[in-house]
Structure formats: C-alpha cells, structure tokens
C-alpha cells in the first residue's frame, strides 16, 4: 500500500487548499464582514476608540471599539460611573460620535465592530443602520455588569431576560447589520444562552470565558459544541500559548482587552504569530484531542472507538453509535491519502492523531506516500467538517 504515491489530481486538490497568498490564508467571514486574521482588539469603555485602535491594532483582523452609550440614560449612567473613577465614553450626540469614529477608521484593512449599550431597541437599530452603512459590525453589549447600566435593564441584565434579549436581537437584525453579542460566561447557563442567541438570528458570539481562575476553557468548549455561531473567545489572553488554548477549544477568533494595556503591541504580535501558525500547520484552530479537552471537531483525531474514553460521550452528543462513527470515517477516507496506514495503531490514518503529536509510525507512512503534515492536517480538517455535518443531534449541554 505505502508505495502508492498520491496521484496528481488529489495532490493538486489538497495543495489548492493550502498554497495560498497571505491575504487568502484565512477563510474568515460573516455576512458582509471578512477578517484578514482571527485576532481582535476587545472593547474597553473610555479606552478603545478609533485613535487607540489605530495605535495598537492595525494588524488585527477585527477591532471592536466602544462600548458607546447610545442614549441619554446610558450616558447619564456613564457619568455616574466616571465619577467613581471608571473611564467611560460620554457624549450628548451618540450617533454623531459613532459616525465620526467609523469615519476615522475607514482606511484600515481590519474589520470594525462597535460595542454599544442602550435602553431602547430603537436606539440600537439607529446605531445598527449607521454601522451597516460603514460595512461594520454592531456588537450588543450584554456583558457590562456595572450597576448603573444593569439598573437600566441594559448590559448583563439582558442575559437574565432572555425574551427581551431575543426580541432585541431580532429587531436589530431587521436592519441587515452583522450582529455580534458580547456576554460573560457563567452568568446564566452558557449553552442555553448561546443557543438562544443563535436561534434569535445573531451572527457572532463574543464570549468572555471568565472563570474563577482565569479563562474557563471548558465553558468555551461547551459553547463551541452547542452552536454554529462564529465564536470569539476572550479572557486573559497574554501570549500565543493562551490564544492557542482558546483556538484548541473551537474559538474562530480570539480577542484581547487588558493584555493590550500591559503590552500595546500584543494584538499585532498575536496577529503575526497566528498567521505564522496557520502557514505552518494549515489549521490555526485545530482542536485539542478530545481527551485533552478539545471540542467535537476533535473526533477527526480519535482512535478506533475500542476503549473506554471520552470518544463515547462525544458520540452520544452527536447522536451516533460507535459503529456508525467507524463507517463514517472509513467512508470519508476511502480514496484519500488518509486510507493508508499500514503499521499505524489502527491500520489507517483515519484514526491517527494530530500532526503536532510526534509519532514515527504515522510519519513514516506520510513520508512513504509523500504527504506533508500540512496536507495531512488539511484532510483531517475536512474530515472534522464531514463528521459534524453528519451529526444526528445537536448537543444542548
């Protein structure tokens, strides 16, 4: 088997997916918004305006400015917050401020999102129309937990009132804007919240995975497995290693707030490092193995399901029996280079581990058939998509 070298057409097909120019390296878009890479500046009220973004995040795939207060009530609340020492953006002309901030950023190659708080749906909708006109994203702040804001029924209070949040999302989406919803983990049940936000029609979930000790990566993973929303993972990212922890749990993008205050180059550095990671591996957010805490995409790296391990719970979540899983993987690899694997643990690379896990058995097969790690990873990525496209039930928890 191993002496068979890849035929030219399958080699060309795989290569088309990976030998891309830098501007095509990531296939990241949501509606009319597209992102040059999966690294974002996260919003910090009173700090992240257009000027700050230009100084710190020119290389970012997404810049989230704000949070801006859209009405009299939230601006008055912000005044009271600033009196007790918080930085806030305060204005008597909120819509004009949005216009001028977006205008200042029009020449950047990064996508722009505007994080906002308001009391009434009408103000969110007016802001959405302005943002839409600039091909930017509106981000609904369902995250702020300052009492001056939550007392108005805005910010985090929205996640405690799902009917209102749902109605708000639906009305904002009527404007045609690409909508992100920013929430904090573990305020209410995470996966129910994520599913509700998805079902209401939002496009992006910006998930502050705040846990008791830094980022709650399990919460991020569970949310990934519960929705198809474009997922931005956020909290405590200070370097590529912490970013990779979130990529490995299914974050499509990561964002950074406080880290930029400590290191103003952090967002740019992460954008460059993630771009290099994508070029080196072909799958910047490849999942960790399931038994290492990865999300359901990691089924692509799972062994033949013959022992007691995490694969069985994962299969239950997607409503598939081990037998069906075996048939599905075999069916996928047939006719692809992954069908080979004499000498590997289970006789086919259908069952082989992530390329980053050193293994001379797999690598000697790859050498023999002339398949690089990137090409191998690209096929595993396609297999992950195939498995999840065939899942029979959507996990809720």
Ligand X SMILES: Cc1cc2nc3c(=O)[nH]c(=O)nc-3n(C[C@H](O)[C@H](O)[C@H](O)COP(=O)(O)O)c2cc1C
Q: Is 309 helix (H, G, I), strand (E, B) or coil?
A: coil
Nearest to 124 by CA among 83, 74, 76: 74
Q: Which is nearer to ligand SF4, 99 or 324 (CB)?
A: 324
Q: Which is nearer to ligand SF4, 322 or 370 (CB)?
A: 322
Q: Establish if 18 lies at the interface with ligand SF4 (CB under 6 A).
A: no
Q: Which is nearer to ligand SF4, 59 or 350 (CB)?
A: 350
Q: Which is nearer to ligand X, 257 or 350 (CB)?
A: 257
Nearest to 271 by CA among 2, 16, 6, 39: 39
Minimum CB separation from ligand X for residue 258, in Å?
3
Q: Which does 344 bind (CB under 5 to 8 A by kind): ligand SF4, ligand X, none?
A: ligand SF4
Q: Establish if 182 lies at the interface with ligand SF4 (CB under 6 A).
A: no
Return the range that interacts with ligand X (CB under 6 A); candidates 39-47, 53-61, 119-127, 382-390. 39-47
C-alpha–C-alpha distance, residues 149 and 71, integer Å: 12
Q: Which is nearer to ligand X, 158 or 379 (CB)?
A: 158
**Residue 194, C-beta contacts closer than 8 angstroms, at least 6 positions apart:** 205, 207, 223, 226, 227, 229
Q: Establish if 302 lies at the interface with ligand SF4 (CB under 6 A).
A: yes
Strand duo 137-141 + 111-117: pairing: parallel
Q: CB atoms < 10 A from the CB of 332, how many? A: 21
Minimum CB separation from ligand X for residue 101, in Å?
14
Q: Which is nearer to ligand X, 56 or 115 (CB)?
A: 115
Return the range that interacts with ligand X (CB under 6 A); candidates 37-45, 119-127, 170-178, 327-335. 37-45
Using CB under 6 A as the criterion, what x/- string covers residues 250-289 for binding ligand X?
------xxxx------------------------------
C-alpha–C-alpha distance, residues 236 and 200, integer Å: 29
Q: Which is nearer to ligand SF4, 26 or 351 (CB)?
A: 351
Minimum CB separation from ligand SF4 for residue 369, in Å?
14
CB 182 within 8 A of CB 117: no
Q: Establish if 235 lies at the interface with ligand X (CB under 6 A).
A: yes
**Residue 241, C-beta contacts closer than 8 angstroms, at least 6 positions apart:** none
Q: Which does 20 bind (CB under 5 to 8 A by kind): ligand X, ligand SF4, none?
A: none
Nearest to 111 by CA among 173, 172, 39: 39
Q: Establish if 243 lies at the interface with ligand X (CB under 6 A).
A: no
Strand duo 214-215 + 210-211: pairing: antiparallel
Q: Establish if 144 lies at the interface with ligand X (CB under 6 A).
A: yes
Fill in the DSSP letter of residue 25: S
C-alpha–C-alpha distance, residues 319 and 69, integer Å: 44
Q: CB atoms < 10 A from the CB of 386, how many? A: 15
List of residues contacting ligand SF4 (CB under 6 A): 289-291, 301-303, 309-311, 344-345, 351-353, 359, 361-362
């Amino acid at each position: 088997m191993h002496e068979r070298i890849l035929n030219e057409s399958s080699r060309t097909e795989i290569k088309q997916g990976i030998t891309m120019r830098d501007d095509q390296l990531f296939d990241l878009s949501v509606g009319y918004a597209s992102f040059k890479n999966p690294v974002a500046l996260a919003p910090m009220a009173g700090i992240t305006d257009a000027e700050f973004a230009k100084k710190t995040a020119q290389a970012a795939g997404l810049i989230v400015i704000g949070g801006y207060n859209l009405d009299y009530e939230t601006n008055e609340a912000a005044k009271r917050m600033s009196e007790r020492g918080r930085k806030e953006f305060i204005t008597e002309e909120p819509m004009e401020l949005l216009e001028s901030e977006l205008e200042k950023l029009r020449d950047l190659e990064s996508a722009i999102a505007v994080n906002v708080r308001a009391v009434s749906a009408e103000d969110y909708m007016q802001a959405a129309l302005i943002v839409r006109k600039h091909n930017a994203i509106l981000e609904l702040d369902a995250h702020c937990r300052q009492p001056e804001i939550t007392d108005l029924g805005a910010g985090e209070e929205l996640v405690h009132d799902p009917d209102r949040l749902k109605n708000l999302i639906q009305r904002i989406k009527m404007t045609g804007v690409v909508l992100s919803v920013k929430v904090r983990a573990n305020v209410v049940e995470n996966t129910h919240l994520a599913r509700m936000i998805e079902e209401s029609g939002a496009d992006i979930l910006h998930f502050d995975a705040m846990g008791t000790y830094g980022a709650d990566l399990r919460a991020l993973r569970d949310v990934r497995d519960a929705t198809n929303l474009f997922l931005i993972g956020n909290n405590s990212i200070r370097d590529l290693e912490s970013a990779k922890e979130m990529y490995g749990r299914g974050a499509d993008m990561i964002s950074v707030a406080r880290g930029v205050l400590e290191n103003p180059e952090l967002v740019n550095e992460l954008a460059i490092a993630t771009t290099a990671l994508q070029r080196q591996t072909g799958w910047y957010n490849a999942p960790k193995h399931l038994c290492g805490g990865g999300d359901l995409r990691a089924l692509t790296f799972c062994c033949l399901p013959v022992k007691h391990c995490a694969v069985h719970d994962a299969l239950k979540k997607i409503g598939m029996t081990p037998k069906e899983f075996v048939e599905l993987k075999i069916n996928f690899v047939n006719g692809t280079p992954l069908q080979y694997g004499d000498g590997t643990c289970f006789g086919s690379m259908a069952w082989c581990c992530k390329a980053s896990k050193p293994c001379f058995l797999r690598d000697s097969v790859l050498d023999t058939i002339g398949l690089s790690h990137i090409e191998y990873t690209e096929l595993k990525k396609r297999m992950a998509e195939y498995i999840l496209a065939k899942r029979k039930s959507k996990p809720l928890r």
